[in-house]
Amino acid sequence: MNIARERCFNHASREAVARCPECGRYFCRECIGEYEDRAICAFCLKRLSAKPARRHHLAALVRLAQVFAGILLLWSSFYLLGNVLLRIPSTYHTISIGQEGSGK
């Protein structure tokens, strides 16, 4: 198709200068805009710009889950380390360096 024969979808009296890759309609200079280095119409631009907001909420939820998992991992590590330290016999702590071989 020759774009010179096409008219703007919103303004029938204006000549089209670009075709929106999302919806396939033709638009004049006033109705077309750039988004990520592509010429896109206002309707598709609004639809595309609304999508990242949902991803942002999901990313925040994933981040919160990661923080919670990290805190749980740290708590578990310290809990297990505490249990290991509690199992050391108390007599081990009372022996001084000079008394190890004397048997006192």
Give the mean model confidence (pLDDT) for residues 62-86: 96
**Residue keyed to tokens 């994933």:** 62
- Domains belonging to the chain, first-starting first, are 3-86 (3.30.40)
User: What is the amino acid identity at position 70?
Assistant: G
29 in Cβ contact with 39 (< 8 Å): no
16 in Cβ contact with 25 (< 8 Å): no
pTM of the model: 0.44
27 in Cβ contact with 8 (< 8 Å): yes
- Whole-number pLDDT of residue 51: 61
Model confidence over 20-60: pLDDT tens digits? 888 888 888 888 888 788 888 888 888 877 765 556 778 88
